[in-house]
Chain A
C-alpha cells in the first residue's frame, strides 16, 4: 500500500464568522468559508477540481456537494458529501489525499458549515436531540447527548478514580485559550469552581463540561506536495492519518474507557514515523470534557488511566508540554455540529504557519489533530507538519 505520508499539503484554510450568526444561512456560510479559503491560498474557484462537503442539518440538501458546486459554478472531477459525525472533517482530508495521490484530481476544496444556533426551529432542535441513540433500544430510555457522554465519564471515574475537577480543568484550559482568540464565541475566563457549580446536566457532567451550540463554517484546500510550494502560504504537509471505528451505539461499545482513537492514532503515528512526544501541540475533539481525557490516553500522550493526572500537571495549557485546543475548541470557540472539528484543523494550520497571534505555540513544527463522531464511535487522527523530514 502506498503511504500518503508527505504526498499532499494544506495550502489554504479559512473560518467564517462563528458563534451566533443569524444573518447568514448554512449554505451562505459554506460558500463564505470556501471563498475565504481560496483567498487564503491565492487560488480562484476554477483551480478546484475536487469538492467534498458535509451536509447541513439546518439547511439539508439532497445532493449537497453537487449543489455547492452548482452554486459556485465549478465543474469538479470529484464531488461528494460525507457524514460520519464529528470525525467527518478529518476523514475528508484522508479521502482527498488518497484521491490526489491516485490521480483522480489535483486540488480539493473541503468545506463544511452549519447554523445549529440560529437555523433550527426549537421543535426541530428538540426532536433531533431527543432522537439520539438507537431508536428502539436506547432513545426510549430518555438519553440526551450529554447523558451518553456522562456514561463514559462515570465509567472512567469508577475505573481510574478520575474526578469532576479533572474534567473541569479541561474546560478551564479551553476557555483560557479562547480568551486569546478574538474569533471565539466564549472568551470570559472561568475557574474549576465555575464548572463544578454550573448546572448539573447529566451527572457527572455540568453545563460547562458541555460544548457550545453555534453557527459557523470552515474550509481547507489540499493539493499535491509538488504543487503546494507554488502558492502564497507555507504548505502544511499531511504526515500521517488513520481511522478507527468500534461501534455506533454506546450501549454496544466494546469498552467504555478505551476508544477507537487507539487504532486511528496507531495508524497515523506509524505512517508519520513519529510518536506522541514529537507533537508540539494537539487539537483534540472536545464535545464534552471526558472525551478529551479519554482521548489524551488513547492517543498515547499518557498511560491509560493517567488522563486525570496529565490534566492536573498543566500540560494541556499554552506553555505546557502539550497545549491542546489552542483556539478554544468546541467547548469555547464554537460548535456548529458536524463542521465543528474543522476549526481544530484550520487552527492547527495557522499555528504551524506561525499565524496564531497571541495564542501562538512557539516554534510549532508538528501537530496532532483528532476528531471523533457519534458517541466515541468514529475516530480520525491526522498528523501534520511544516516539514516532510
Chain B
C-alpha cells in the first residue's frame, strides 16, 4: 500500500474552509464588526471578540515570513518528497499560515519571497493549499 500524507479532518469550525479549498478558493475569516481578518477559523474575532465573523476569499498572494528545508521527515509519504520547503507565509490580507512552497528552486527560497496559492491533490482528490513563487 502506498504511504499516505496526513490529511486534515474538517470539523464544524473548519468545514467551510476545506470545502472552499476543493473549489480552489482560499477563504479567511473577516469580522463584521471591526473588519479584522484572521486565520485559522474561529468562533470569535480575535481582535474585538465579536461572534459576527464571516468569510472572504483571499487574493492568494502572500510573502514568505520564514522557512526551512526539511531533510529528515518522519513519515514515508513525506520522506518520498524530501528535501521539501516548509514555510510560514503572510497573506496579503494579513494573517499567517503554515504551508509548503512548491515549484521553487531551493537556492532561490528566501524570507520575503512573493508567492501565490495553488491547490494540490494529495490523496483521493482532496485539495490542499500550498504556495509557489510568482
A contacts, CB < 8 Å to B? 126, 129-131, 133-144, 146-147, 150-155, 158, 199-205, 249-253, 256
- A135 touching B8 by the CB < 8 A rule? yes
Give Cα A204–Cα B10 distance, bound, in whole angstroms.
33
Residue in B closest to A143 when the chains form the complex, CB atoms: B86
Which A residues are in CB contact (< 8 Å) with B97? 137, 251
B43 within 8 Å of A by Cβ? no
Picked from B18, B74, B111, the residue with its CB within 8 Å of the CB of A129 is B74
- B40 touching A137 by the CB < 8 A rule? yes
B100 within 8 Å of A by Cβ? yes
Chain B 48-93 interface residues, beta-carbon cutoff 8 Å to A: 65-75, 78, 81, 83-84, 86-88
B44 within 8 Å of A by Cβ? no
Which B residues are in CB contact (< 8 Å) with A199? 71-72
Which A residues are in CB contact (< 8 Å) with B18? 136
Which B residues are in CB contact (< 8 Å) with A130? 6, 74-75
Picked from A140, A151, A249, the residue with its CB within 8 Å of the CB of B66 is A151
Q: Knowing A147-B86, A158-B111 are in contact, say whether A141-B98 is a contact too (CB < 8 A).
A: yes
B105 within 8 Å of A by Cβ? no
- B70 touching A202 by the CB < 8 A rule? yes
- B78 touching A202 by the CB < 8 A rule? no
- B96 touching A252 by the CB < 8 A rule? yes
Which A residues are in CB contact (< 8 Å) with B88? 151, 250-251, 253, 256
B32 within 8 Å of A by Cβ? no
- A142 touching B100 by the CB < 8 A rule? yes
Question: How far, in Å, is B105 (CB) from chain A's closest CB?
Answer: 14
Give Cα A136–Cα B8 distance, bound, in whole angstroms.
5
Q: Knowing A126-B75, A151-B88, A154-B111 are in contact, say whether A143-B65 is a contact too (CB < 8 A).
A: no
Which B residues are in CB contact (< 8 Å) with A135? 8-9
Picked from B8, B66, B98, B130, the residue with its CB within 8 Å of the CB of A256 is B66
Which B residues are in CB contact (< 8 Å) with A144? 70, 72-74
- B40 touching A136 by the CB < 8 A rule? yes
B47 within 8 Å of A by Cβ? no
- B128 touching A140 by the CB < 8 A rule? yes
> Can you report 27 A-B residue pairs in the complex whose CB atoms are below 8 A from each other?
A131-B6, A134-B40, A136-B8, A136-B10, A136-B40, A137-B39, A137-B40, A139-B6, A140-B128, A141-B86, A142-B6, A142-B84, A146-B72, A147-B68, A147-B70, A151-B66, A151-B86, A154-B111, A155-B65, A155-B66, A158-B110, A200-B71, A202-B72, A203-B70, A204-B68, A250-B88, A251-B97
B99 within 8 Å of A by Cβ? yes
- B73 touching A133 by the CB < 8 A rule? no
Give Cα A125–Cα B130 distance, bound, in whole angstroms.
28
Which A residues are in CB contact (< 8 Å) with B78? 142
Residue in A closest to B78 when the chains form the complex, CB atoms: A142
Which A residues are in CB contact (< 8 Å) with B39? 137
Residue in A closest to B98 when the chains form the complex, CB atoms: A251
Residue in B closest to A138 when the chains form the complex, CB atoms: B98
Question: How far, in Å, is A81 (CB) from chain B's closest CB?
Answer: 27
Give Cα A12–Cα B88 distance, bound, in whole angstroms.
44
B7 within 8 Å of A by Cβ? yes
